[in-house]
Amino acid sequence: MIALILNDGIEKYEQDIRELAMAFCPGEPFIYEKNPEAWLTIESGSEPGGSFFVSASENTEKTRIDRESFLLTDSRRENKSIIKTALYKILNRLSGKELPWGTLTGIRPVKLPESKLEKGMRDKDIRRDMKEEYLISDEKLDLIMDIAHLEHRELSAIPYRSGWSLYVGIAFCPTTCLYCSFTSYPIEKWKERLYEYLECIRKELRLLKEACNTEGSILYRRPLQTVYVGGGTPTALPAEHLRKLLEIIKSEADMSSVCEFTVEAGRPDSITAEKLNILKEFGVDRISINPQTMNQKTLDLIGRRHTVEDFRKAYAMAREKGFDNINMDIIMGLPGESIKDVEYTLSEIESMDPDSLTVHALAIKRAARLNTEKETWATVERADVREASVMTAMGAESAKRLNMKPYYLYRQKNMAGNQENVGYAKEGKVNLYNILMMEELHTVIGCGAGSSSKAVIMNKAPELYDGNENRVERFENIKNVAEYLPRIDELIEKKRKFLMINRQNGNN
């Protein structure tokens, strides 16, 4: 338990302080008053002469206290960095831990060097600034600089600033995995209403078609450039429903400018020859078949109702059908897995030679069963910080042996070992949608229960927005399928207003 006692204006930075404390102490709950049961207490306040302080004390047999003082400025951004740096130094001294990402707690760390490259800064200056401000390790700095440069190169092939991307969410899976917190429902319980769900997606797509032809809309005259069908597990749909879904997308969306069409076929137990033929027929050019691990004991534990052999067969079948851009997802730090287990998974994947590999560090969110059923899984061992770091490094080395380079990266809260999720790909096999969506480089509109939309409004009037940054507006679809279906017309009207955000702000 961690107690936060913030005073004298420092409480404005509570989220930043809490996120950094979480990075040092993942999974610990927070309270906001002094409590003798709290093993760590973080306090702040003002000092004579106009300075401020932050301190932390450990409630152990021999209580240890550390403290840093600092001066604040008129800039909220600068103050956030000053406070986090002070707290990092304290927690580093108390715990002896070095966080590979330093004070960076955001989801999209690549955006930082990328924005500096856009402004023409030299690599050495970017590195110096990043080290000084965020205390980031050389290893992670090398990683995000490499990704930023690769993203620039890959995106130069398309006029992405003038386009948009479509995400279609299929909120159903064969089963719910132990670690999963995505919006997904057991498909067996919804088989009678799948056509109804697909017709709701049709309604959303027709709205987007209307927006593409309506002056003042964020989509007006913008070409659709990438399409990503995710979930859940889209291939959990029976073959007839999968065909219907792709027919709806093809008929309601203008696919003439689409350069990439991805469908998640993530669960091997959802893949059949018939479904792969349907994907091919409709021009899907990239799929994911995700093992997560190649250890059967772990698959059984996390609720993946398929075998390692099922995965091998599904992958071989997809190759036989002519798919030449197949991604695999794996997760580092799965319950009960050792470094040796990860080594085995990676050796098996290398022998299969996928086109891209996404290496995830396990992140336990509130909605995951591994969190909501803590007592049930309390005895299952999880990777510590050192093991998680070693596992992530092993994934990077495996990708290198497969002639892949890192091309996108994102982070989540409560990640094993304060690590990250990284997508690696061979030359010509990167997923443009992942880059555009993660770096918020253009508008992505989501359809389906639980999907989200992000409108990137290009900055034409700096005085209206924050500096020179583009503005990002968000819209969340209804998550619960049982509510999404009857409320689709209400959702459509709200989304119509969202799509007209340009007109609302006089930014035609």
Query: In this structure, are 76 and 123 located in the same domain?
Result: no
Query: In this structure, are 69 and 129 located in the same domain?
Result: no
Query: In this structure, are 371 and 407 located in the same domain?
Result: yes
Asked whether residue 487 is domain-assigned, the answer is no
pLDDT (tens digit per residue) in 321-337: 999 999 999 998 888 88
Query: In this structure, are 300 and 418 located in the same domain?
Result: yes
Q: How confident is the model at residue 62 (pLDDT cuts 50, 70, 90)?
A: low
Domain count, the chain: 3
pLDDT given for residue 67 in this prediction: 92
Question: At residue 474, does pLDDT exceed 50?
Answer: yes
Answer for the pair 236, 270: CB distance below 8 angstroms, yes or no: yes
CATH at 55: 3.30.160.40
Asked whether residue 372 is domain-assigned, the answer is yes
pLDDT given for residue 50 in this prediction: 87
pLDDT given for residue 119 in this prediction: 84
Q: What is the Cα–Cα distance from 462 to 281, expressed in whole angstroms?
A: 46
Query: In this structure, are 418 and 298 located in the same domain?
Result: yes
Domain that holds residue 136: 111-155
* All residues at 6 or more sequence positions from 138 whose CB lies less than 8 Å from its CB, including other chains: none
Asked whether residue 209 is domain-assigned, the answer is no
Q: How confident is the model at residue 178 (pLDDT cuts 50, 70, 90)?
A: low
> End of a domain among 394, 428, 462?
428
272-298 core/surface letters (b: 16 or more CB in 10 A; e: else): eeebbebbeebebebbbbbbbbbbeeb
Asked whether residue 127 is domain-assigned, the answer is yes
pLDDT given for residue 311 in this prediction: 94
Query: In this structure, are 31 and 132 located in the same domain?
Result: no
Asked whether residue 380 is domain-assigned, the answer is yes
SS3 194: helix
Query: In this structure, are 39 and 121 located in the same domain?
Result: no
SS3 506: coil
> End of a domain among 404, 428, 452?
428
Q: What is the Cα–Cα distance from 399 to 355, expressed in whole angstroms?
A: 10
What is the rounded average pLDDT of the residues 66-92?
A: 93
Q: How confident is the model at residue 185 (pLDDT cuts 50, 70, 90)?
A: confident
What is the rounded average pLDDT of the residues 235-243?
A: 96
Question: At residue 282, does pLDDT exceed 90?
Answer: yes
Asked whether residue 23 is domain-assigned, the answer is yes
pLDDT (tens digit per residue) in 383-394: 555 777 888 899
Query: In this structure, are 384 and 353 located in the same domain?
Result: yes
Query: In this structure, are 128 and 83 located in the same domain?
Result: no
Asked whether residue 81 is domain-assigned, the answer is yes
Question: pTM for the complete prediction?
Answer: 0.88
Asked whether residue 382 is domain-assigned, the answer is yes
What is the rounded average pLDDT of the residues 64-71?
A: 91
Lowest mean pLDDT among 51-55, 133-137, 183-187, 274-278: 183-187
What is the rounded average pLDDT of the residues 304-329?
A: 94
> End of a domain among 428, 452, 485?
428
Query: In this structure, are 14 and 136 located in the same domain?
Result: no
Which of the two residues, 197 and 37, has the higher pLDDT score? Answer: 197
pLDDT given for residue 381 in this prediction: 47
Query: In this structure, are 307 and 419 located in the same domain?
Result: yes
Tokens (6 digits) for 501: 């955000």
Question: At residue 192, does pLDDT exceed 90?
Answer: yes
Answer for the pair 294, 345: CB distance below 8 angstroms, yes or no: yes
Q: How confident is the model at residue 419 (pLDDT cuts 50, 70, 90)?
A: confident
Query: In this structure, are 134 and 28 located in the same domain?
Result: no
- Tell me what the pLDDT averaged over the chain comes to: 88
What is the rounded average pLDDT of the residues 359-371?
A: 59
pLDDT (tens digit per residue) in 285-305: 999 999 999 999 998 888 777
pLDDT given for residue 368 in this prediction: 43
Question: At residue 180, does pLDDT exceed 80?
Answer: no
pLDDT given for residue 417 in this prediction: 62
Question: At residue 267, does pLDDT exceed 90?
Answer: no
CATH at 297: 3.30.750.200
